[in-house]
Structure 1
Amino acid sequence: MTITLFIDADACPVKDETYKVAARYGVKTFVVSNSFIQIPQSPLIERRIVEAGPDVADDWIAEQAVAGDVVITNDIPLAARVLAKDAHAIAPNGRAFTPDSIGAALASRALMEHIRSTGDITGGPPPFSAANRSQFLQTLDQVIMREKRRMR
């Protein structure tokens, strides 16, 4: 059994960081998007271009991910789907989605969607920072190390 990384790549700010961590651990990585994205030349990194449309990339990732895999995504419903398969989900800001936290994240997302649908301006997420990048690297490293130990 091996770990596979999946990057929900459209608008993902930590692709380069993910490639470096994947190379360090020798982990196969799929870069999934609905348009061409440049990737490094590596036998460990594979580009997967899916059809355009809502949730097509998410559906492909959710279908492929198995227990122990790691998905990099900001998409909370996708995170819930992969957690249900005992895979890991990490947001680019370094927040690890967990079975204990995903319910609250889904509820918060639904609430914000409702508020936006009423015309209120919510301001959006804070800008991506160097601290977010650092937290992401730390979280990804911890998850992969923990999963590799578990697989022994």
Structure 2
Amino acid sequence: MSVWVDADSCPGAIKEILFRAAQRTKVQVTLVANHYMKTPASKYVNLLQVSSGFDVADDEIVKRCTPGDLVITSDIPLADEVITKGCTVISARGEKLTRENIKSRLNIRDFMDTMRSSGIQTGGPPALSQSEKQEFANQLDRWLNRHLSGAQ
């Protein structure tokens, strides 16, 4: 059981929650990024630095994750791929992405891409709120408790 983090776009506050959880529960957390980032000195937290390039980090997560693992990402196509492999996905905003909701999220993403490519300014996401951080921590705790107790 491992936690894989799409770390290039993961907010620092979410990484800190993951670092504390890794230490507390002794669950392996691997940050996958195409640039160096500082991680705590812990045998439970690793950085896997991959080469730069489109979807290189995503492809590495897909290649290495196994059914039952947790993937932290807000990248909808990556989430779709790892859900298909049997992983659980939580976005940095605390949303659990599932087989039931991922296709509609892909459709929304594609629609927004179409709007942006036609010149419409859609703006970026708002700053991460305290309630979203709390929801992420709650979702993470639920996953950890389920897996540490042996229940699937």
Specify the TM-score bucket, using the shorter chain as the normaliser.
over 0.9
Query: Higher RCO, 1 or 2 (CA under 8 Å, sep at least 6)?
Result: 1
Within the candidate set 6, 9, 31, 1:8 is matched to 6
1:110-129 aligned at under 5 Å gives the runs 110-129=110-129
Matched residues in 2 for 1:123 and 1:54: separation? 22
Matched residues in 2 for 1:129 and 1:60: separation? 29
Residue 55 of structure 1 is matched in structure 2 by 55
Please tell me whether residue 82 in structure 1 is matched to residue 106 in structure 2. Answer: no
Q: Once the 2 structures are TM-superposed, how far is the Cα of residue 104 of structure 1 from its aligned partner?
A: 0.4
Residues 87-109 of structure 1: CA deviation (Å, up to 9, x unaligned): 11110000010110000010100
Q: Once the 2 structures are TM-superposed, how far is the Cα of residue 150 of structure 1 from its aligned partner?
A: 4.3
Matched-pair identity in %: 35
Letter in 1 for 2:15: K
Matched residues in 2 for 1:24 and 1:151: separation? 19
> Per the alignment, in what secondary structure is the counterpart of residue 99 of structure 1?
coil
In structure 1, the gaps of 5 or more residues are none
Q: Once the 2 structures are TM-superposed, how far is the Cα of residue 149 of structure 1 from its aligned partner?
A: 3.4
Q: Once the 2 structures are TM-superposed, how far is the Cα of residue 66 of structure 1 from its aligned partner?
A: 0.6
Residue 98 of structure 1 is matched in structure 2 by 98
Residues 104-147 of structure 1: CA deviation (Å, up to 9, x unaligned): 01010000000101100112212211111111000111112223
> Per the alignment, in what secondary structure is the counterpart of residue 8 of structure 2?
coil
- Farther off after superposition, 100-109 or 119-128: 119-128
Matched residues in 1 for 2:132 and 2:151: separation? 28
Matched residues in 1 for 2:102 and 2:65: separation? 17
Letter in 1 for 2:2: T
Letter in 2 for 1:4: S
Letter in 1 for 2:31: V
Residue 39 of structure 2 is matched in structure 1 by 39
Matched residues in 1 for 2:75 and 2:145: separation? 24
The root-mean-square deviation of aligned C-alpha atoms, in Å, is 1.2
Q: Count residues with an aligned counterpart.
A: 150
Matched residues in 2 for 1:151 and 1:40: separation? 29
Matched residues in 2 for 1:114 and 1:52: separation? 25
TM-score, structure 1 length as denominator? 0.94
Q: Once the 2 structures are TM-superposed, how far is the Cα of residue 19 of structure 1 from its aligned partner?
A: 1.0
Matched residues in 2 for 1:65 and 1:149: separation? 21
